[in-house]
Amino acid sequence: MLRKNYLSQLQEESLTQKGYMKEIALELKAKQPMVVVLDDDPTGTQTVHGVSVVTDWEQSTLDEMFMSENSLFFILTNSRSFKEEKAYEVYFEIGKRIKVAADKSHKNFIVVSRGDSTLRGHYFAETTALEKGIDVSDCKQILIPAFFEGGRFTLEDVHYMLDGDACIPVSESDFAKDNTFGYKNSNLLDWVSEKTNGIIESSDIDSFSIEVIRKLGPDTISKKLLAHDSHKYTVVNALSYQDLEAFAYGLYKSNLSAIIRSSASFVNAIGGIEKKALLNSDDFPNSKNGGLTIVGSYVSKTSSQLKVLQKAENFAFLELDVNAVLNSESRDTIISMSSRIDKMIAQGQDVVVYTSRRVVSGADGNSSLEVVNQVSNAIVDIVRNIKKEPRYILAKGGITSSDIAVKALGVKKAFVEGQVLPGVPVWQLGIETKFPSVPYIIFPGNVGDENALTNALTKLN
């Protein structure tokens, strides 16, 4: 366990460290790479603003994005809801198409596989598939899961999660007990070995310490990445944005080919995206209709946030019984709920739909994923059947927010306006969608304290 006051001391020390956003901006201007972020659910946009998200990876879509003036864009794959074999196939195909788009536009590119900061997802399958699809020689794989907005830090190769007055190793959190993506190790060298079933041994992985990043800086980072004795797999420690900027600048200086697996925070550093003030009430449109919140995430943090929200008197709460969804009653349940939501929205009532909190698991990881997808499909059908336009739509949970966006609302392209709370992005949807003028708020299941959901909805109201 890492004491919070010790962490604060280390973070305060980082404030005296040099930032490298100006240098990164110059690198982007000189080399003009396209930074392509593959997002395994929509929560990866939780630190950025002013960037586009596409929800398909057709060759024509990627060609168009590479030809645009933007230097960074997201591809929403939602691969965390896939089985591993499908995730591999999708990322391999995307890798090939990125290479084709880059050749057509005569642009270099950097690929980031944005994954969950609590280490859930098809990490090794996706990074390996991308590397093979892009077909670049001497490619490194770099792991950078630090996510400061969500209270996730890496020190001495151990990944920590802020929990009250302490930082606990993530392997001690509920996220490590995930039915599909669980793990035992918080030390990232051991975690990589665990996730690759021993194919990659801990001793075959390099790491960049806080001391190297802060005291020796980008020049040393560049030289270490290029050294003949360096390993293919690398872990990056980070306690602040300055740490990430130093590493990003060192990576640019090296001109190294790399597949980066990171959380959302590193996207800002590699993309040269400065921080922006949080959105406020004035940034959201006025409407007499009620708003709609969908809570699909079942992690304990989300349940705690929902429990606090249920104390508020100005919301109507509707529970979606997971057991009913998993049997023959599901169709009647969906039609009835959609009708009730329509009436409440028309009356100006803010509605919160939430799945029953008792977790229903399958016999193994894949069958548990099937249950999650079945419930998500029911949520999609509910939103798809709504006819009244809500004042806003807030989706809680990664798979939930992706499926609502793509399957229920028909999003093909969106624009990230910013964040309503740290780590909670707001999308402006394209004209092709079911409700194009409605703000779409993506609230990750693992972000914020117990009051966060209530605070976000208070701001929206």
Name the band, by pLDDT with cuts 50, 70 and 90, for residue 370.
confident
pLDDT band for 179, please (50, 70, 90 cuts).
confident
**Contact criterion met (CB below 8 Å) for 42 and 398:** yes
Residue 166's Cβ-count burial label (10 Å; 0-12, 13-18, 19+) is middle
pLDDT, one tens digit per residue, over 134-148 is: 998 789 999 999 999
CA distance 444 to 302: 9
Res. 11 pLDDT band, cuts 50 70 90: low
| Amino acid (one-letter) located at 19 | G
Look at residue 10 and tell me whether its pLDDT is greater than 70. no
* pLDDT > 80? residue 315: yes
Q: Which two tokens stand for residue 366?
A: 């894949």
DSSP 152-200: EEEETTEEEEEETTEEEEGGGSGGGG-TTT--S--BHHHHHHHHTTTSS
- Bigger pLDDT: 364 vs 155: 155
3-state secondary structure of 426: strand
For residues 217-244, give the mean pLDDT.
94
Nearest to 117 by CA among 91, 143, 78: 143
Cβ 247 vs Cβ 238: under 8 Å: yes
- Between 372 and 135, the higher pLDDT residue: 135
Question: From CA 217, how far away is CA 147, in angstroms rounded?
Answer: 21
User: Does the pLDDT value for residue 358 go beyond 80?
Assistant: no
Rounded Cα distance, 195 and 193, in Å: 6
pLDDT digits (tens, 9 = 90+) for 388-441: 999 999 999 888 898 899 999 999 999 999 999 999 999 999 999 999 989 999
Q: Mean pLDDT over residues 238-250, rounded? A: 96
What average pLDDT does the segment 368-394 reach? 86
Interval 38-56: pLDDT, tens: 999 888 899 999 999 999 9
pLDDT score recorded for residue 232? 94
Residue 194 and residue 201: Cα distance in Å, rounded? 9
Q: Which two tokens stand for residue 165?
A: 């007055």
Half-sphere exposure of 302 (CA within 13 A, CB side): 24
- 99, HSE (Cβ side, Cα atoms, 13 Å): 14
One-letter amino acid identity for 32? Q
Q: Which domains are seen in the chain, by residue range?
A: 2-271 (3.40.50.10840), 281-460 (3.40.980.20)
Cβ 217 vs Cβ 23: under 8 Å: no
What is the per-residue DSSP string for 70-97? -SEEEEE--GGGS-HHHHHHHHHHHHHH
Summarize the confidence of residues 434-460 as an average pLDDT.
92
Select the more confidently predicted residue: 11 or 123.
Answer: 123
Q: Tell me: the pLDDT tens digits for 270-291?
A: 999 999 999 998 899 888 999 9
Look at residue 365 in the predicted model and tell me its pLDDT: 67
